[in-house]
């Protein structure tokens, strides 16, 4: 679960303040008032984002076979502060229902796609999940509110370092990051109840299949950069067989690494 940093409680009593003490108190009061106003603005923007996601859910229901998403998923989408996961100059656009660049040729995924991929995993509270492609850390933050543990891998060093620091600052205690090639998974912590891949692969990586628990699910976009990609739902049956289903045409940045 997410541990939310405590907010400054701005409760004021009449005090006989003088000089710098008075100035500091007034500045702190203005900061708190501004922070509350800022939080209210972001809350309204998140509500608008949720409304846009719900429109997309209805629009794609035939392909996804979903008339609505798990309320737990939608609650996570409504509470995770997406503006914390985008570059500062893009903060005004943080809650628009579209992907945004985060540097190094990578993007933070469209909120609807994040919600869809999360919902397809059919997560339980005690699940252990692997994410391939940490990016800014947004998908990991959404997952962390729904499961026991999240292990996330990023191959681009600056993004991995930034995401690790960001997730720590925001109090996500059950997310563990790693700088590595996600194609090979993270065998040490497997098998995983669910795996989500946030970049397009040319095929489903065999190491990830191996690290998926029997009865587990993987969601991964498959296809080339200049071709139609398909979001696949991969399920490993109790007897170890693998079934796949195409869910929706998508467009993701390519999975990088040796493969």
Over the stretch 155-212, which tens digit does the pLDDT of each residue have?
999 999 999 999 999 999 999 999 999 999 999 999 999 999 999 999 999 999 999 9
Band of the pLDDT at 28, cuts 50, 70, 90? low
Residue 194, beta-bridge partner list: 129, 217
Quote the pLDDT of residue 259. Answer: 64
Active-site residue flag, 202? no
What is the pTM for the complete model shown?
Answer: 0.84
Q: Using H for helix, E for strand and C for coil, what is the string for 211-248?
A: CEEEEEEEEEEECCCCCCEEEEEEEECCCCCEEEEEEE
Residues 30-76 have pLDDT tens digits of 445 444 666 788 899 999 999 999 999 999 999 999 999 999 999 99
Q: For residue 195, give the H/E element and its range.
A: strand 192-197
pLDDT digits over 205-259, tens only?
999 999 999 999 999 999 987 678 999 999 999 888 999 999 999 999 988 876 6
Per-chain mean pLDDT for the chain: 88
Domains of the chain by start residue, with CATH: 56-250 (3.40.50.150)
pLDDT band with cut points at 50, 70 and 90 for residue 22: low
Q: Which two tokens stand for residue 20?
A: 């710098």
The pLDDT of residue 19: 54
Q: Compute φ and ψ for 214, nearest 5 degrees.
A: -60, 130
What's the confidence (pLDDT) of residue 9?
40
For residues 18 and 6, what is the distance between their CA atoms, to the nearest angstrom?
29
CA distance linking residue 115 with residue 111, whole number of Å: 6
Q: Which of 109, 136, 144, 202 is catalytic?
A: 109
């Amino acid at each position: 679960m997410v541990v939310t940093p405590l907010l400054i409680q701005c409760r004021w009593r009449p005090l006989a303040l003088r000089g710098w003490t008075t100035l500091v108190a007034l500045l702190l009061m203005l900061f708190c008032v501004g922070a509350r106003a800022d939080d209210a603005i972001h809350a309204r923007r998140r509500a608008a984002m949720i409304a846009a996601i719900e429109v997309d859910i209805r629009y794609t229901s035939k392909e996804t076979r979903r008339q609505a998403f798990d309320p737990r998923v939608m609650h996570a989408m409504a509470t995770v502060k997406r503006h914390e996961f985008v570059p500062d100059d893009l903060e005004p656009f943080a809650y628009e229902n579209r992907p945004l660049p985060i540097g190094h040729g990578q993007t933070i995924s469209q909120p609807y796609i994040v919600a869809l991929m999360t919902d397809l995993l059919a997560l339980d509270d005690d699940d252990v999940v692997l994410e391939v492609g940490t990016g800014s850390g947004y998908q990991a933050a959404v997952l962390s509110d729904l499961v026991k543990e999240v292990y996330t891998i990023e191959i681009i060093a600056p993004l991995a370092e930034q995401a690790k620091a960001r997730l720590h600052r925001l109090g996500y205690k059950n997310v563990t990051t790693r700088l590595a090639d996600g194609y090979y998974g993270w065998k040490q912590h497997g098998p995983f109840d669910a795996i989500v891949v946030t970049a397009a692969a040319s095929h489903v990586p065999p190491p990830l299949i191996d690290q998926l628990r029997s009865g587990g699910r993987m969601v991964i976009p498959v296809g080339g950069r200049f071709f139609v990609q398909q979001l696949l739902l991969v399920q490993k049956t109790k007897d170890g067989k693998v079934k796949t289903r195409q869910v929706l045409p998508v467009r993701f940045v390519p999975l990088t690494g040796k493969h």
